[in-house]
Amino acid sequence: MTPRRAGAALLLLCALLVGASPAAVAQPDGGGPARATAAGAPQLRVVDFTGVLRPGDDVAIRVTVRNPGPGATDGLRVLATVHRKTFSRYDFEQAVDAGAVGSLWDSFAVDVGLVPSGGIREVELGRTASELGFSRPDDRYGVYPLRLELQRDGEVLDRVTTSVVLAPASVDRPVRTAVLVGVDHAPGRLADGSFAPRLPDAVRPGGRLDLIARELDATRFPVTVATSGYLLDQLADIADGYLATDAGRKVEIGAEQRPARHADEFLVRLGSVIGRTGVEQLALPYGPADLVALVRAGLAQEAVRHVTEGAASVERLTGSRPTPGILWPPDGLDVPTLAQASGAVDTVVLPERYLAVPAGSDLTPSPVRRLRTATGSEATVIVPDPFLDQALRGRPSGEGAAVDAQRILAETAAVYFERPFAPARRGLLLAPPQDFEPQPDVLSTLLNGLAAAPWIDPVALSQLERGVERADEPVRLRYPPASRRRELPPEYLDRVGQARGALGSLALVLPADDSTPGRYDALLLEASSVWYRYPALQGEGGARVDTVLATADGVSSAVTVLEGPPVTLTSVDEGQIPVTLVSTAAVPLRVRVRIAPTAKFAFTDGAQADLVLQPGPEPTTISFATRTLIPGGTAPIEVVVEDPEGVRVLTAGTVVVRSTANSPVALLVTGGAGVFLLVWWVRDILRRRRARVEDTSARVAA
């Protein structure tokens, strides 16, 4: 980015939007106006004006003047000044955002009259094309700053700066322009299945999601809609009737009640938009998941699954297949994450701040770039215009929807007039952040203006990728430290990993038709959402993880290895070691019983066995055929009960075995000792007898 562009971006960021916080989480709905007027001073607001002029069109402006003061006010007039056209996009940004409007082209005014206290007066002012010199424009096409001032006795009480565009009736090579709008919201479903008020509130009339759907429904621009499968799952549940949690109380809301009907109406309206000719649908990663954090935590397969599950859930819930292979991550992407997703993704949508881009000129670059990957191959990245990205964040200017929409529309004209005769197809992508706050009438006014603008060729996102020239220099991913600091905490994701392993084991243990693993799989998919980064919501994500771990632990604690009296083996050749189990679970459990290795015994038919453990107080006994290797004595044998694939140990116990058998070696030794003692005893008797005979003979001889 050039220094001029950087300066313009800073001005735009400060003057307009100063960053948008996550919807309905970190800030109240709405937000205050970007401009400030003296307390009690009359205020100027633009209701409507002709922001785009073709040769011979007149300028017509309709404004309201509001008097919030304690008394009536008189002597007000509205002065409109048209300034000489800007000659670059930078000049346009300076004029509209910094007030550097340049020399005067023409001016006209209207008296407002008396405005009572608390009252509003609407007035119109205008100028003919002939008076402006626009009836035969010749070389006068371009973007003209327009300043409106509310004055009294020469003092400026309020001011609005916008612009008008003088455009030819037709353009040979209009700028191909795609608009990408995310449809997502902070989750409302809690771990127990009930719903917090924030999501039903978002689809009520005037709520954030309701505004998005209505604004999209009010235009025929071929917008690209990026939908969240997690959001649609929740709204479908709400539409069917749901359990509401409010201030600690649980309330049943039926499908016929207003909150449920609002959810259904939103889904119908969104489906109507998606089904419209020219509208393209993308799928956000399920959640949308914190993809980079998952890969960093060693859960790469989980990250990839969120990408594929996001597309599957959107198709299932809308009946429309999203465009495959395009990924719009919620907060940037790094090289390892892109490598993991490469099998399912060939195009990514990323703001320029997530890219290391080559130095460029003051001209607007192509939104379609070549992205160099770690393996040396290339993917495609589509880059939203960074300046319009800020303007689309949704903070109201306080000057009216027409002015807010014209700010963006006129800048697209400034892009066209940079190179009106460029030989190659140029393009723009307008993409408000996924958590943007829509303002009434702004988005629809902008989209309808874009659809009618002769310098714009409205296209869907995939058409933009295919139909415009690509930038020459490839770009690389840049994952900023700020995104790294925003990730889900490592300790949180460690527990997600533990819960995922426990759930896999639980699915093996429970009956094949049990729905518990499916429900808890959804909880873990939800738990990885970027929405649970925020302290206000992280406890709700953690509750999902805790629910899965507690259920898995509950199944483990339901299985017990019963202790009994020692098992006595009396034979060296063979014997049976019984293992007795009992289960307090409500359903049969598929388990594997395994004898831990021991040096004293060999198990002739194997040291493990699979069985279905029936629930209830009746114990189940399984026996293991064994052969004594070291007879005699008492030895404990460890018994392990695990899932059928040995992923997770459910419980363990001990069976005490006493061996009374004698081995052949022992018998041989014992028998040999007996023979030795017998021989020794016989020889001792004979020796004693000979000694007595000899003694008797000696006495006789004497």
Per-residue pLDDT, 390: 74
- Confidence band for 9, pLDDT divided at 50, 70 and 90: very low
How far is Cα 578 from Cα 564, in angstroms, rounded to an integer? Answer: 10
Tell which wins on pLDDT, 700 or 605.
Answer: 605
- Confidence band for 383, pLDDT divided at 50, 70 and 90: very high
State pLDDT tens for residues 529-586. 999 999 999 999 999 999 999 999 999 999 999 988 888 887 666 888 999 999 999 9
Per-residue pLDDT, 26: 36
DSSP state string for 110-157: EE---B-TT-EEEEEEEE-HHHHT-SS-TT--EEEEEEEEEEETTEEE
Per-residue pLDDT, 84: 96
Lowest-confidence segment of 371-385, 412-426, 438-452 by average pLDDT: 371-385
- Confidence band for 337, pLDDT divided at 50, 70 and 90: very high
Tell which wins on pLDDT, 246 or 503.
Answer: 503
Lowest-confidence segment of 222-226, 455-459, 467-471 by average pLDDT: 467-471
Q: In one letter, which amino acid is 358? A: P
Per-residue pLDDT, 674: 54
Per-residue pLDDT, 676: 53
Per-residue pLDDT, 698: 59
- Confidence band for 370, pLDDT divided at 50, 70 and 90: very high
State which CATH number among 3.40.50.450, 3.90.1150.110, 2.60.40.1080, 2.60.40.10 fits the domain covering 39-169.
Answer: 2.60.40.10
Lowest-confidence segment of 11-20, 118-127, 284-293, 650-659 by average pLDDT: 11-20
Per-residue pLDDT, 252: 96
State pLDDT tens for residues 472-501. 888 999 999 999 999 999 999 999 999 999
Per-residue pLDDT, 17: 33
- Confidence band for 678, pLDDT divided at 50, 70 and 90: low
Q: Say whether pLDDT at 207 is over 60.
A: yes
All residues at 6 or more sequence positions from 155 whose CB lies less than 8 Å from its CB, including other chains: none
Q: What is the pTM of this model?
A: 0.84
Per-residue pLDDT, 391: 77
Residues facing residue 92 across a β-bridge: none
Per-residue pLDDT, 1: 46
Phi, psi of 153 (to 5 degrees): 55, 40
| Residues 481, 487, 490, 491, CA torsion sign | positive
Q: Say whether pLDDT at 211 is over 90.
A: yes
Q: What percent of the chain has pLDDT over 70?
A: 87
Lowest-confidence segment of 55-69, 76-90, 347-361 by average pLDDT: 347-361
How large is the angle between the packed helices 516-527 and 300-318, nearest 10 degrees? 110
* 39-169 and 560-659, same CATH topology: yes
Per-residue pLDDT, 458: 97
Instruction: Count CB atoms within 10 A of the CB of residue 409.
Output: 26
Where do the domains of the chain lie?
39-169, 488-556, 560-659, 664-702
Per-residue pLDDT, 600: 85
State which CATH number among 2.60.40.10, 2.20.130.10, 3.90.950.20, 2.40.10.10 fits the domain covering 560-659.
Answer: 2.60.40.10
Per-residue pLDDT, 500: 95
Q: Say whether pLDDT at 366 is over 60.
A: yes
Per-residue pLDDT, 665: 47
Per-residue pLDDT, 357: 79
DSSP state string for 546-580: HHHHHHHHHHHHHEEE---SPEEE--SS-EEEEEE
Mean pLDDT of the chain: 88
Residues 67 and 73: beta-carbon distance below 8 Å: yes
All residues at 6 or more sequence positions from 288 whose CB lies less than 8 Å from its CB, including other chains: 184, 228, 230, 306, 310, 329, 330, 434, 529, 530
Per-residue pLDDT, 35: 57
Q: Which range has the top average pLDDT, 245-254, 267-276, 653-662?
A: 267-276
Q: What percent of the chain has pLDDT over 90?
A: 70
How far is Cα 521 from Cα 500, in angstroms, rounded to an integer? Answer: 8
> Rounded mean pLDDT of 508-518?
93
Per-residue pLDDT, 300: 96
Tell which wins on pLDDT, 694 or 210.
Answer: 210
Per-residue pLDDT, 22: 39
Per-residue pLDDT, 700: 57
Per-residue pLDDT, 573: 64
Q: Which two tokens stand for residue 303?
A: 């990250």
Per-residue pLDDT, 424: 84
Q: Which residue has the tokens 């989480």?
A: 25
State pLDDT tens for residues 57-68. 999 999 999 999
Per-residue pLDDT, 472: 84
Per-residue pLDDT, 521: 95
Q: Which two tokens stand for residue 618?
A: 């009746």
Per-residue pLDDT, 682: 58
